[in-house]
Amino acid sequence: MSAPIQDSGAQFGARALASAEFAREAPTRDAAQRLEALFATLLVKEMRATQSAGLFGEGTGADVYGGWFDQYLGEVLAKRGELHLADSIQDSLATKELAGTPEAQP
């Protein structure tokens, strides 16, 4: 015999609330991660520019490969959270978002 389902309404409500909160935070989280990736890409680009000899040689092709390298490395750094910026950015965006709500206005 199977056990009766107990308090399924409360469980459904908790899951719905968690799902709604995730849906509300998802765009903010995505924006924070993309901003961290952009910053990391620019950081890698500037660090690579300090090298006397180009990593990929000289010329137009080297610029293209260098740009791809910078972008890839920046995205990997952001995805792994190596710079720990996305959380701070997300908190800042969430604070500004809450400050703009009608309930927060005096």
DSSP 17: H
What does pTM read for this prediction?
Answer: 0.65
pLDDT digits (tens, 9 = 90+) for 81-99: 889 999 998 888 888 777 7
CA atoms within 13 A on the CB side of 11: 4
Q: DSSP of 37-87, one letter per residue?
A: HHHHHHHHHHHHHT-SS-TT-SSHHHHHHHHHHHHHHHHHHHHHTSS--HH
pLDDT at 20: 53
Whether the CB-CB separation of 32 and 90 falls below 8 Å is answered with yes
CA atoms within 13 A on the CB side of 9: 0
pLDDT digits (tens, 9 = 90+) for 14-55: 565 455 555 567 888 888 999 999 999 999 999 988 887 777
Name the pLDDT band for 3 (thresholds 50, 70, 90). low
pLDDT at 34: 92
3-20: average pLDDT: 56
